[in-house]
Amino acid sequence: MSTRALVLGGGGITGIAWEIGLLHGLVEAGVDLTDADLVVGTSAGSVVGAQVTNGATTEAMYARQLAPLGTYGPEPTAVIGAAVTARWIWTGLRSGRDLEALGRRLGAYAVRAAASGRLPSEEERIAVVSRRLVSQEWPARDLRVTAVDAQTGAFRVFGADDGVPLARAVAASCAVPGVYPPVTIDGRRYIDGGTRSSANADLAAGHDRVVALTPIAAAVPRSRGAAAQLAGIGSAHTVVAPDKPAREAIGRNVLDPAARARTARAGYAQARAVAGAVSEIWA
């Protein structure tokens, strides 16, 4: 019997909304990706993956995305400003293809930014992430949550057997350098899994069929992107990225809760156009 993996990439609050809208639209089109044997979640994708594997229906997840702001608690707005973006670009160019060097440099930057007092506290962030989950327990299904060690730059994949609280692992995966503080786990501090790759789709190696939902499709270098990673593992696969209406709905700030509902609707609408291609891989 063939095995199937669902890869959920990073992309902020709007990434969560787009993935959920797309998943629900696909279910209504007869393609249910939530029954995957493996779910890989990076940053925004870790939030969605934790919901999917813990039994949340796409209908309930989608309804939550459409709910008025504040329905489920405070939703702080953050911005990835020009200074943060410039730091990422400069660090990426300096590090080249050395992903651990990139992780170390962005990790050091994240630690300094957290120490400045400009960012929310670690516990505040974990509380925000906790409210986005349907359960605080790891699911029985195979969920893998990605992060990067802020000191060494080493890639870390969290799973149920690691004994790490689910919300803390997901918060680590979502710890955007310069925007949110690194998250401490077993005495080490971790930053966003998207530091290595926006999707980390190569974790699906060994599975016959893979669908990757990637709110952030571009990758520099291309080897960090889902398409290149999946080509390298040889599985039958497809990669879905936001179409033009979805990109317009997302807007310029992926961390703006006000864009959540319209982005979820755009993902839902896009599902009709991609259902055929996704079904060919998933069926």
Instruction: Output the pLDDT for position 92.
Output: 84
Three state DSSP letters for 52-120: HHCCCCHHHHHHHHHCCCCCCCCCCCCCCCHHHHHHHHHHHHHHCCCHHHHHHHHHHHHHHHHHCCCCC
Q: Is 130 helix (H, G, I), strand (E, B) or coil?
A: helix
pTM here? 0.96
CA distance 161 to 140: 10
| Bridge pairing between strands 155-158 and 38-41 | unpaired
Instruction: Output the pLDDT for position 33.
Output: 98
CA distance 216 to 219: 8
Measure Cα distances from 280 to 63, 126, 202, 212 in Å.
28, 38, 20, 14
Instruction: Output the pLDDT for position 101.
Output: 94
Answer whether residue 1 shows pLDDT above 80. Answer: no
Answer whether residue 231 shows pLDDT above 90. Answer: yes
Answer whether residue 77 shows pLDDT above 90. Answer: no
- Tell me the one-letter amino acid at 142: D
Instruction: Output the pLDDT for position 164.
Output: 98
Instruction: Output the pLDDT for position 221.
Output: 74
Answer whether residue 220 shows pLDDT above 80. Answer: no
pLDDT digits (tens, 9 = 90+) for 148-170: 999 999 999 999 999 999 999 99
What's the pLDDT band for 190 if we cut at 50, 70, 90? very high
Question: Two tokens at 226?
Answer: 């889902």
